[in-house]
A and B are shown apart, each in its own frame.
Chain A
Amino acid sequence: MLAPGCPWPILTSMEHEPSYDLATGRGLMACPKCDALHIEEELELGETARCTRCGTVMAKPRDGAFVQLIALSFTSMVLLVGAVFFPFLEVSAMGFGNASSLFDVALAFADGVLLPLVIAVLAMIIGLPITRAFLLVYVLAPLAQGRKPHRHAARAFRWSEVMRPWSMAEIFVIGTAVALVKVAGLASVHLGPAFWAFCALIFVNIASRAFMCQTSIWDAIEDAGQTVEFHGKPRRAKA
């Protein structure tokens, strides 16, 4: 059982009491960046554990992190839905006007060869961020209440981590700034509510990064008794 503010792992260097097993890997943690072995230990809230060799942050549990992350995920869902349906930018010149929402932006590529790019652009600025928010809520909601995680919680969280580099809302905002400068000489541009939603999304993302501690979440999933169901590939038995 794990509520936010309960057991967390900590990592110290090797020489410590034998709460680990070098033969099976129980109670140990390897740094994903340099493979150095560490022993898992309880970590006080607010502490940060770094790899003793390369300095990569390995765990940084924060008070109420799960609840905060759920709240921030809901915030980004609301902002993203708003960002899709409200006009993004409006441009007008000499009586010709054009308001475009995000779908217009993506559909600009919709002719011919560039069609796959439409899907990619839509996915990167809307699809993946919103999917990640859903996955995080799915994984964290039961954990925050100290209940058993939903089915496939481990896989859901791993996918959300895989998607992380591909959700590019903040890059899109900078792209907008560049586009505005290019258009400025040609026509007058008004920023729509969707643009501000994206700007807010950047701050939501920064906040959620500060609370995100993958190690704590993995540990919470494991402690709550979730095991990965194996898809397809049969696994060899333990020696």
Chain B
Amino acid sequence: MSAPSESNAPVMTAHRAGLIGCHSCGRVWTQDHDQCLRCGAHLMPPDRRSLQKVWAWWFAGLIMYIPANLFPMMSTQTFAGLAGSSESTIIEGVFELIHHGSYDIAIIVFVASIIVPMGKFVAIGWLAIVAGRPATVDQAHTRLKIYEVVEFIGRWSMIDVFVVAILSALVQLGFMASVHPGPAAASFALSVAFTMLSAQSFDARLIWRGLPLRSKSE
């Protein structure tokens, strides 16, 4: 394969050496330790068992994502409801913004609350499925990139929750207009939090391991 520099030379890993590396501070310990003596983090050997946690948070996130899209994010009352009160879900909110002509903001909201969460479900699910399968170095690099992007971008989905929070605090103009948060705000926040936890519990070291269920060295 046309892998970069270190390519096919076997890399000495902590696991192959019969040691455990701390995922939080990098210190290396013998396998009979179950807690890092330097930073106190729990030591986990890199095997597929840790994926259970990833899937648990993943499904929790997916379940919360359904009501987040079906229920209204917020309801707006203008002129004490005389000029109509409107409730809008996430996608309706985006269309409203397009209707107002603010395309840039509409794109931000659309990306942050629809593209990013969906992409995150797909990416984490895929990573968890292929984790530990034999891969070339190139593939491993790609997967690590994807994982890093997912980890970095996940928090940004919270934008919509903050928008609802700010609007409902700000737009309390009595008779004129008032905004109230809807149930979707809570379930969307939970969905984002769960997928963040799912991404965090994914062990990136699995990307680099050929066949993790087989015993090492022998």
Query: Within 8 Å CB of B14, what residues of A?
Result: 25, 28, 30, 35-37
Asked if A155 and B169 make an inter-chain contact with CB atoms under 8 angstroms apart, the answer reads no
Asked if B158 and A36 make an inter-chain contact with CB atoms under 8 angstroms apart, the answer reads no
Asked if B28 and A29 make an inter-chain contact with CB atoms under 8 angstroms apart, the answer reads yes
Which segment, of A70-78, A129-137, A143-151, A228-236, faces chain B? A228-236
Asked if A178 and B109 make an inter-chain contact with CB atoms under 8 angstroms apart, the answer reads yes
Task: Specify the main secondary structure of chain A where it touches its partner.
Answer: mixed
Which segment, of A60-68, A100-108, A203-211, faces chain B? A100-108
Contacts A33-B205, A54-B144 hold; do A154 and B40 have CB atoms under 8 A apart?
yes
Interface size counted on chain A using CB atoms at 8 A:
80
Q: Which of A28, A176, A230 contacts B28 (CB 8 A)?
A: A28
A-B contact pairs, 23 of them (CB 8 A): A25-B27, A29-B27, A30-B21, A32-B23, A34-B13, A34-B144, A37-B17, A91-B170, A91-B173, A109-B181, A113-B183, A117-B185, A154-B39, A165-B151, A175-B159, A179-B167, A181-B97, A186-B171, A228-B39, A235-B33, A236-B32, A236-B33, A237-B32
Q: Known pairs A30-B21, A154-B40; list 19 more (Cβ under 8 Å).
A: A30-B27, A31-B26, A34-B205, A34-B208, A54-B208, A96-B174, A97-B173, A100-B169, A105-B169, A109-B181, A116-B186, A117-B185, A120-B193, A171-B156, A174-B156, A186-B78, A214-B25, A218-B38, A228-B39
Task: Spell out A's residues near B (CB within 8 Å).
Answer: 14, 22-25, 28-37, 52-54, 58, 88-89, 91, 93-94, 96-98, 100, 104-109, 113-114, 116-117, 120-121, 124-125, 154-155, 157-158, 161, 165-166, 168, 171-172, 174-179, 181-183, 185-187, 189, 214-215, 218, 221-222, 227-228, 230-231, 233, 235-239
